[in-house]
Structure 1
């Protein structure tokens, strides 16, 4: 991935992410390319792009390669065998094969979620197993993936009647670029506060929004605070390290709740000021974040009554640090796997909050928290002692989505009956997949939580 150009004072780098509209050069950058019927050695492949995906638990991975051909591909009802193609990836100086799971034609460079043989078109989609050890698109920073993948057709592809659809070739084509749905819709920018401290950010505009003076429609603003693992200078991993921002920007969510999504990134070196060695509570970062939110809301058609904070891990710590200092600014917050100062909870008893945490979290312990400041359990107790009515629920974090949301819906009904605007979900020990700290995998995919959030207004 290329670096993102820095800007100052709330400028947005237009055109920084437009990979979904794939350009059509005269020919792909290739070692050579698969042949086709009647091509006499000329490449019918115009372009190759990797398709990546940000998933709730597996983060950012390469899930497919899209080949754009000069001609329409139609297997005439036949199925293209995965064994007809070989794909290798060179990542971190090591070249290894990827597992091809499905191959089909398509009308666009995107994965077709439907079962079947695809739709005839100029694109050939080669799906890859996301469980491959070399499938990640990033480590602490994005990997340089341009031309990192090689695709070779090793067997003829034939229609059921025997006609050759695509001929095998000893040559390989390499990818020109990388497509990441939803992430590519964010533009990149940076903000410099009154002290000269700079925060990079990514911005997703509401679906159908046209920025113009005097716009009559005003939109909610969702501010997402990433975890400690996404502290960097790449202005990317706050989107791809987890789905906290992406889930609010995906098309189906924007159709239901059009909103600005603002995803700032804590820069390197890690500030680490203060006794608890956090990032979003560092005085410089917190000050710049507050100014960024104010400046953005003032300069865009934002509904000032509907500013929302969402965060995970140290991002949740940032929420519990910022809300007491700006108790009349935000309409609601969702905080996952956080920790904080119990002494300040009395200042936010009026703010609608939905918090969740795995009970066996080893990174930010559910009760003990970090650096002498308690985890979510202690913060909820402090809110209750200060006068807030907290509605609590416990269930497994590995439940199917429908059952998980049914539990959330029941908890919300209980809260409404009790006149409570603070909800606390605890995930039973041994039920959070991959790592008990990753409690957020279902949080931001949970339509009940998101609907609750957008229902709140200051």
Structure 2
């Protein structure tokens, strides 16, 4: 039986009647048809540590008009039950941190009349993740989120204007998933001259209102081994190496194209980024993309890679540095001849970040980015060395990075190396990309590089 949704009637006339005893009769509240939950949409975002479910949009069968009154976060229960072959299912409760009505199934933080109640969820919940790792391959996989979340309105939604009664027996599973930012990337596939057929995703900057002839930088990102595969998704969802450049905040200051191909080490026709044919395929892709997007600013093409992607970045820069204006490499290695790399890239701007206790890509190994920067300095190329804790507050890390940029300008250095102190990398020691792509100053430095300057 439908649960009634009532609105208190406004008294629009003078007193209706007065009894002989002098008591006034009050008007009865008006009743409207019930408002029921009919569907839900799970909303994901790429957090520094990977893809998380950060909200759920609860859809009603009619518009809710609560005025400025917010929604009690305790009025909803959100449950997770996700399964994946060969691993334990992810089951748990989600913590609602904010709730408000909306006319679209989007995270806005603002209350407005609409058919949706947006429930923002705690990113630190154990069940917040949307991915899991197959440790036999170290590849990250993603849960099928469709139908994996259920939501029920277990408490009344009360405002001076309207009350939506609880409907705890009406438990609804989500029928849809919205991947914020990721869904804004287009997909492509290129049969490269180098041989591999390369899948890629790309983000196009907002151009409305821009003057005719405006040029846009291009950021090329090379993911790590864990994001390998053939889904053309993981290179965006695994961490922020790509999406940080497409975020609203970054695009506001530095509107740019973002190009993110995916490698597949388990496909003999492709390979990892350290495979020469895949490095040449990346160059083919970049050149093809520039040719098909004449508004790319060819003096401001940037390269960034982490872990396996940094191996590829070093190799690509050794042969094709003239195509790029600057690079950020994270936990890098695999450089066959550090002295030759130091000579080739003496004038090429590079900022490298590596955790000193990285147990996956050894900080001190032959061919590591640290060894390349040692070779820079040995050859007389100035280097700005910095070291800080990856657990410091973001604004503190950015202040330290800003000091490094100032020192680099003073010394005329194009090469900055940041060590993340042992024991201070978030989650575990290989993930030095978390403090890297969370640091706006490092990204600002990259966008300041320009071959025409």
- Counterparts in 2 of 1:79-228, with a 5 A limit? 79-92=70-83, 94=89, 96-102=91-97, 103-113=99-109, 118-139=111-132, 140-159=140-159, 164-208=163-207, 216-228=213-225
SS at match of 1:244: coil
Change over 3 Å in CA distance of 1:225–1:46 after alignment to 2: same
**Residue in 1 that maps onto 2:11:** none
Contact 1:33 1:169 in 2 (8 A): no
Gaps of 5+ in 2: 7-30, 133-139
1: distance between equivalents of 2:326 and 2:2? 53
CA radius of gyration, larger in: 2
Contact 1:349 1:383 in 2 (8 A): yes
Contact 2:196 2:269 in 1 (8 A): no
**Residue in 2 that maps onto 1:55:** 47
Q: Which moved more, 1:174-183 or 1:43-52?
A: 43-52
What is the aligned counterpart of 2:64 among 48, 59, 73? 73
Contact 1:312 1:337 in 2 (8 A): yes
- Counterparts in 2 of 1:197-346, with a 5 A limit? 197-208=196-207, 216-269=213-266, 279-300=272-293, 301-341=295-335, 342-345=338-341, 346=343
**Greater RCO (CA < 8 Å, at least 6 residues apart):** 1
2: distance between equivalents of 1:187 and 1:74? 36
Contact 2:46 2:240 in 1 (8 A): yes
TM-score normalised by the chain length of structure 2:
0.84
1: distance between equivalents of 2:244 and 2:363? 25
Cα shift at 1:441: 1.0
Change over 3 Å in CA distance of 1:144–1:453 after alignment to 2: same
- What's the CA shift string for 1:171-220, capped at 9, x where partnerless? 22221211122111111111111244211111001122699xxx722211
TM-score normalised by the chain length of structure 1:
0.83
Change over 3 Å in CA distance of 1:189–1:36 after alignment to 2: farther
1: distance between equivalents of 2:233 and 2:4? 37
1: distance between equivalents of 2:215 and 2:121? 41
- What's the CA shift string for 1:381-406, capped at 9, x where partnerless? 12223342111111111111221111
Change over 3 Å in CA distance of 1:77–1:227 after alignment to 2: same
Gaps of 5+ in 1: 1-31
Contact 2:362 2:368 in 1 (8 A): yes
SS at match of 1:263: strand
**Residue in 2 that maps onto 1:428:** 421
Change over 3 Å in CA distance of 1:228–1:260 after alignment to 2: same
Change over 3 Å in CA distance of 1:197–1:244 after alignment to 2: same
**Residue in 2 that maps onto 1:22:** none
